[in-house]
Amino acid sequence: MPQSEAQLSGRKLAFIVTEDWFFCSHFLPMARAARELGLDVTVICRIRDHKQIIEQTGAKVISLEAERKSLNPFAAARATWQLSRILKAEQADIIHCIALRSILVGGAAAMLAGLKKRIYALTGLGFLGARQDKTGQVARFIVRTLIRCLTSRETRFLFENTDDPKMLGLDPNDHDRVTIVGGAGVDPDKLTVSPQPSFPPLRIAVIARMLWSKGIDLAVEATTKARERGADIELSLYGAPDPSNPKAVPEETLNSWSQCEGIKWHGPTRDIISVWKDHHVCCLPSRGGEGLPRTLLEGACCGRAIVTTAVPGCKDLVRNGIDGFVIPSDDVRALTEAFLALAADQELVIQMGHSARERILNGYTERDVMNGVKALYTRSLT
């Protein structure tokens, strides 16, 4: 074991995250990375059905009940006070706060607990990034100010794209304070490439929470327009409306879309591999607010061409014309043209899928992410 890693053995890292399922879906590799360094790991979150999965990494799990959708300042203050007591009791050496709400609550709790070593992981801006109007600008200013107030000299930042650091007034090239990793990373040994399904039709899938900000409606409209122009295209939607998110697409809307020719909403799925076995194209026409979408990582890792938009995170991963198409945000016409181009050229679909897979193998695997956060923990604690 390198000397720097030996110095970390027995030090205590506390992850702060809203939900146990969210930690399981995206951040288990980071817990394993911390354990590889010899750190004692605690995950503080709302516990539902995934405690045992987290514990399998060697981490301890502590419950903190805090509703994601609540804007009640008294509830946030209560969660902050409870969290500060947990951090003191656990004698944490460093905290790793995941996503905006956890950064705000965790940063305030760390101040109360006198804990200066902090990692703030901004996993996308959500509606703050998707809205470009005055309301969005004001909201981003408020968030930037709050995070600055909660930042100590020993705070470091973890991002999934090169645009989000700039929102906080940080230089993405300041490698002492800013670390950028390939999202959650994916395991290429599990997400393998399967043969392309029969062609035509061109089978396109969107796997995401059914939110307006994800551009689900754009995919539906572009598919309809492409089919009207004679293209043999089918669109599959996989995902559930998020009841904690006011931007969720209503279930009745999803069911009505399923009545359209060539479009089907399947609900949520855990069988990602089977979805990509049955589809040629991974699509996410996001309106913004992404970190680095896991769905794009998974689709690319399975060797599927990508169609996405030129918003932070998405445009960082996908090379336009190589791994797929990167089109302007909220542009149905451009999305329709991308669908038509792929429907007319099977070889292009296959070629882009190969390139997308190679893209993942060069910096976006779980091991790449684990190595990045291990270096970050080492810098922060030695």
Quick one: average pLDDT of 316-339?
97
pLDDT at 129 over 80: no
State which amino acid sits at residue 154.
E
Quick one: pLDDT at residue 134?
A: 78
Give CA–CA dist 120/98, Å, rounded. 7
Quick one: pLDDT at residue 72?
A: 67
What are 257-291's pLDDT values in tens digits? 999 999 999 999 999 999 999 999 999 999 998 99
State which amino acid sits at residue 6.
A
Spatial contact of 70 and 18, defined as CB atoms under 8 Å apart: no
Quick one: pLDDT at residue 130?
A: 58
Number of H helices, E strands in the chain: 17, 13
pLDDT at 71 over 90: no
Quick one: pLDDT at residue 9?
A: 86
State which amino acid sits at residue 259.
Q
What are 218-253's pLDDT values in tens digits? 999 999 999 999 999 999 999 998 777 778 999 999
Quick one: pLDDT at residue 29?
A: 95
Residue 113 pLDDT class (50, 70, 90 cuts)? very high
Residue 3 pLDDT class (50, 70, 90 cuts)? very low
Q: Which residues pair with 186 in a beta bridge?
A: 365
Give CA–CA dist 318/311, Å, rounded. 11
Quick one: average pLDDT of 101-120?
96
Quick one: pLDDT at residue 81?
A: 94
pLDDT at 53 over 90: yes
Q: What is the dihedral of CA 205, 208, 209, 215, to 10 degrees?
A: -70
Tokens of 265: 């909403």
Cβ neighbors of 184 (< 8 A, separation 6 or more) are 25, 26, 27, 29, 292, 294, 297, 366, 369
Helix (H) or strand (E) holding 284: strand 281-284
pTM value? 0.91
Q: Which residues pair with 211 in a beta bridge?
A: 248
State which amino acid sits at residue 58.
G
Q: Which CATH architecture has domain 202-361?
A: 3-Layer(aba) Sandwich (3.40)
Spatial contact of 306 and 351, defined as CB atoms under 8 Å apart: no
Within the chain, residue ranges assigned H as helices are: 3-6, 20-26, 28-36, 51-55, 73-90, 100-113, 127-130, 134-149, 164-167, 216-228, 251-257, 272-277, 294-301, 314-317, 332-343, 346-361, 366-381
Q: Find, among 142, 319, 214, the residue nearest to 237 by Cα.
A: 214
Quick one: pLDDT at residue 57?
A: 96
Spatial contact of 138 and 115, defined as CB atoms under 8 Å apart: no
What are 188-224's pLDDT values in tens digits? 999 999 999 999 999 999 999 999 999 999 999 999 9
Q: Give the CATH H-level superfamily of domain 3-185+365-381.
A: Glycogen Phosphorylase B; (3.40.50.2000)
Residue 6 pLDDT class (50, 70, 90 cuts)? low
Domain with CATH 3.40.50.2000 in the chain: 3-185+365-381, 202-361
Indicate the length of the chain as a whole number: 382
Quick one: pLDDT at residue 11?
A: 95
Quick one: pLDDT at residue 299?
A: 98
Spatial contact of 83 and 61, defined as CB atoms under 8 Å apart: no
Quick one: pLDDT at residue 137?
A: 78
Angle separating helix axes 332-343 and 346-361, nearest 10 degrees? 110
Give CA–CA dist 218/7, Å, rounded. 51
Cβ neighbors of 99 (< 8 A, separation 6 or more) are 17, 18, 22, 121, 122, 123, 124
pLDDT at 170 over 90: yes
- Rg over CA atoms, the chain: 21
Whole-angstrom CA distances from 2 to 41, 46, 58, 378 are 20, 35, 21, 11
pLDDT at 1 over 60: no
- Which residues in 30-39 are b (16+ Cβ under 10 Å) and which e? bbbbbebbeb
Please name the residue that has the structure tokens 């923990």: 377
Q: What value does the mean pLDDT of the chain take?
A: 93
Cβ neighbors of 345 (< 8 A, separation 6 or more) are none
Quick one: pLDDT at residue 67?
A: 60
Q: Please spell the DSSP secondary structure of 357-373, one letter per residue.
A: HHHHHTT-BHHHHHHHH
